[in-house]
């Protein structure tokens, strides 16, 4: 390798190195792979059967491990707890998005945060619905909602999606400030069937959280403590509307470390087949019953 050639590692390089580390090592022969080989982070090898593979070198492994350690050290307590919540939800079979940004409809008259766009309800109708305004009613408006963790069930049946919002708080001052903004809380409730607050045990009592919201408590350290449900949230039916679907489509769901992407496709295909079988069997069962 030319000693004068210097390639600074970028995110796209680290992402590809992780992909190679997890995969069987089939080469792509693209520009990113060219950088990896030229920098000495990966190497091409030909097996006894004549098939070429790409493998991480010792330098590539060190680069990937160092980057991972830096990322872990840079994570704030809030980020680490949000990651714990996301991992817990994914383990129960839910699809999770972190730091999602979507528009939500509210009627609360709280002043919006700086930089938040507020639009009249005519700007975005839900399913062609027209909203009538009475003199004693507050005019609805739209604001940006940014839940820490948003999730839906992994299902192909829309009625079973059960969207949920989990808002993470690691300081009492941040929690009390958040609770003073009813509009923010209403935007979460508009997006979900259930809204939860997640906080370290002892930081606040569940009774301090509005009754409509559920409470999860972290008992112990962030990385090794247990997440315990202190109070379930009030369940309100909620249908995900088209603008939210578009935001989800443009965002990337969270994933567990070491989780292969193909696993989701296999699971979804099997689930779709089960739903299809149920739809076929239902009319036959009704005919048999009659």
Packing angle, helices 172-179 and 182-191, rounded to 10: 80
pLDDT at position 51 = 86
This prediction has a pTM of 0.59
pLDDT at position 5 = 66
Please tell me the distance from the alpha carbon of residue 89 to that of residue 18, in angstroms, as a whole number. 24
In order of their start, the domains of the chain are 11-72 (1.10.10.10), 76-250 (no CATH)
Digits of tens for pLDDT over the chain (290 positions)? 444 568 889 889 998 998 898 887 888 889 999 999 999 999 998 888 888 899 999 999 999 999 888 776 657 899 999 999 999 999 999 999 998 888 888 876 555 444 443 333 333 223 333 333 333 345 678 788 899 999 999 999 999 999 999 999 999 999 998 999 888 899 999 999 999 999 999 999 999 999 999 999 999 999 899 999 999 999 999 999 998 999 899 888 998 765 554 444 444 445 555 544 554 454 445 445 54
Own/partner pairs, 34-39, CB within 8 angstroms, 24+ separation: 35/7, 36/60, 38/1, 38/5, 38/7, 39/1, 39/5, 39/7, 39/9, 39/13
Walk across the sheet containing 119-120 and list its strands.
102-106, 141-145, 119-120
Please tell me the distance from the alpha carbon of residue 55 to that of residue 233, in angstroms, as a whole number. 48
pLDDT at position 128 = 35
The residue among 214, 226, 219 whose CA lies nearest residue 200 is: 219
pLDDT at position 181 = 87
Output the six-digit token pair for 150.
């948003």
pLDDT at position 50 = 81
The residue among 68, 62, 67, 72 whose CA lies nearest residue 40 is: 62
Distances from the Cα of 168 to the Cαs of 146, 147, 196, 214, 268, in angstroms?
Answer: 12, 9, 9, 12, 29
Please tell me the distance from the alpha carbon of residue 32 to that of residue 126, in angstroms, as a whole number. 43
| Helix, strand, coil share of the chain (percent; to 5) | 40, 20, 40
Output the six-digit token pair for 260.
């292969």
DSSP state of 233: P
């Amino acid at each position: 390798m030319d000693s004068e050639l210097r390639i600074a590692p970028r995110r796209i390089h680290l992402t590809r190195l992780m992909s190679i580390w997890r995969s069987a090592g089939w080469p792509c022969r693209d520009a990113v792979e060219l950088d990896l080989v030229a920098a000495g982070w990966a190497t091409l090898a030909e097996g006894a059967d004549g098939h070429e593979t790409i493998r991480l070198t010792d330098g590539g492994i060190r680069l990937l491990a160092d980057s991972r350690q830096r990322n872990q050290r840079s994570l704030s307590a809030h980020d680490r707890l949000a990651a714990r919540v996301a991992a817990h939800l994914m383990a129960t079979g839910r699809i999770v998005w972190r730091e999602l940004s979507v528009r939500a409809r509210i009627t609360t008259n709280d002043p919006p945060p700086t930089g938040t766009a507020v639009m009249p309800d005519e700007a975005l109708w839900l399913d062609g619905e027209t909203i009538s305004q009475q003199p004693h009613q507050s005019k609805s408006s739209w604001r940006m909602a940014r839940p820490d963790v948003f999730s839906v069930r992994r299902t192909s049946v829309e009625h079973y999606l059960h969207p949920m919002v989990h808002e993470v708080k690691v300081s009492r001052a941040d929690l009390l400030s958040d609770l003073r903004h009813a509009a923010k809380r209403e935007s979460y409730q508009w997006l979900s069937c259930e809204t939860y607050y997640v906080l370290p045990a002892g930081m606040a009592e569940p009774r301090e959280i509005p009754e409509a919201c559920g409470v999860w408590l972290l008992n112990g350290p962030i990385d090794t403590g247990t997440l315990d449900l202190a109070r379930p949230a009030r369940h309100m039916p909620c249908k995900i509307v088209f603008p939210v679907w578009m935001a989800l489509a443009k965002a990337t769901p969270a994933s567990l470390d070491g989780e292969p992407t193909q696993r989701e496709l296999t699971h979804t295909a099997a689930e779709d087949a089960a739903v299809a079988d149920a739809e076929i069997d239902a009319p036959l069962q009704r005919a048999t019953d009659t």
